Structure 1
């Protein structure tokens, strides 16, 4: 859990340094600004990676996809695709997903294995202010590569939940799994996992009570296939309501996946899921 502890430490100073007005982040995180010069990124970088070199990632190494202007700041689609081989001889071990201007900038840390087939993940993020979005891939031998995008969005972390509170509680922890591709083809297939959870940020006001809804979000996720780890993740409240992930794995006879998740209230959700084919 050392990585998760560093994640929380990296976020703590951002709350203390948050700008007082909504206009300031737009100026501080302008699309023509040098991504490397972001003061928040420099602090996060030092916290997670120290002085280690981070090489710019070309499209042949790492691809980061996100809209330049989000339709909904609470549900911003993001995709990270590694182009590096994923096998016993070498693989991408970790992908870090960072939103500089979010109150907690380290949104997720995904850990992969050779059984992942490909180191890639798609999800949906809350974006609170105009910001640089970063994906950093770390290989098993310690090399670091970074891809960066600028996203225009605001208010994603403080927006009111989209679902009714009672309905969200009734479906809490329910999971759905879909798979595209042929599990018998001896090559990676894509899976899409959705977990019902409000993922409250602790920054949004309940419109009925006029009180801030306490933080309650998924913190950890593990997905296994045939007893082998496909990927694990440390998550933060930047992940959108009803977290959704698309990822690859190498099927071994069938496409059932064992999923275990836990949240900030200590609740645990687990099951062996038989997917529906897309």
Structure 2
């Protein structure tokens, strides 16, 4: 009997601990514990206001929600950043490794319904620092076909890259990259999954500046904004990558 009572007490304590952890989520999401188990396993996770996710409080177009992730306020080296939306049918939006770039990235996202949009930044000590914001939307962004999937133009221009570069006030550069691609999630009837899955930005000396692994929820014809420090080698930048069908991406970005 004593063993049974102890087991019951242990179960109640575990349930209370989980309930407490859910309440600790600053965004008060019913799916936070699922997100924690999915992305972090047994790693140490902390909510951290220094990891900022900027997005509209209300997104009028669920197919094209602008998001800016900024983990530059964290001390030390940020090794990886994962971005996800709790209530999307495909939760993970992308991950990126800053390498020689600043630990920030702008892009556009598809949302199926109102959801927390979160970024988790892993520092060199193995700790994940999580920030986020709620985005309200009418929904349907992940289950609608892309406009490109119904047009022949994207086939002619698939993986075409355009870019702009601006000087930053700190002496570095801001690089905006746009890639022609339908980024289909595979959730629209009759439209198979088709998305970019690997991008690498390199400097003129061949050093990697940022690796980006977009997933299906990234918006059609994705636009990525990357900030580079003043130390980046002079000369043109190179963008290389591929999509999940093996189609290659290769472009030189003049400075």
Aligned to 2:186: 202
Aligned to 1:240: 219
Checking the alignment, whether the CA contact within 8 Å between 2:29 and 2:116 is kept in structure 1 is: no
Equivalence map 1:54-203=2 (5 Å): 54-58=45-49, 61-84=50-73, 90-113=76-99, 115-116=100-101, 118-153=102-137, 154-163=139-148, 164-181=150-167, 187-203=171-187
Summarize the Cα distance change of 1:131–1:82 in structure 2 as closer, same or farther, 3 Å threshold: same
Deviates more, 1:185-194 or 1:100-109: 185-194
Which residue of the other structure, out of 226, 230, 253, is the alignment partner of 2:234?
253
Summarize the Cα distance change of 1:34–1:271 in structure 2 as closer, same or farther, 3 Å threshold: closer
Offset of 1:104 from its aligned partner? 1.2
Report the RMSD for the aligned CA atoms in angstroms.
2.0
Offset of 1:111 from its aligned partner? 0.7
Segments of 4+ moved more than 6 angstroms? none
Which structure has the larger Rg?
2
Match of 2:184, SS state, is: coil
Equivalence map 1:29-68=2 (5 Å): 35=27, 37-39=29-31, 41-58=32-49, 61-68=50-57
Checking the alignment, whether the CA contact within 8 Å between 1:84 and 1:91 is kept in structure 2 is: no
Question: What is the distance in 1 between the residues matched to 2:147 and 2:62?
Answer: 12
Number of aligned positions between the proteins:
226
Match of 1:45, SS state, is: helix
Match of 2:182, SS state, is: coil
Runs of 5+ in structure 1 lacking a partner? 1-32, 206-211
Runs of 5+ in structure 2 lacking a partner? 1-24
Deviates more, 1:44-53 or 1:165-174: 44-53
User: Scaled by the length of structure 1, what TM-score is found?
Assistant: 0.75
Question: What is the distance in 2 between the residues matched to 1:91 and 1:37?
Answer: 29
Offset of 1:172 from its aligned partner? 0.1
Summarize the Cα distance change of 1:188–1:139 in structure 2 as closer, same or farther, 3 Å threshold: farther
Offset of 1:51 from its aligned partner? 2.5
Match of 1:136, SS state, is: strand
User: Scaled by the length of structure 2, what TM-score is found?
Assistant: 0.82
Question: What is the distance in 2 between the residues matched to 1:83 and 1:196?
Answer: 29
Q: Deviations over 1:44-66 (max 9, x none)?
A: 322321132322222xx222101
Checking the alignment, whether the CA contact within 8 Å between 1:112 and 1:232 is kept in structure 2 is: yes
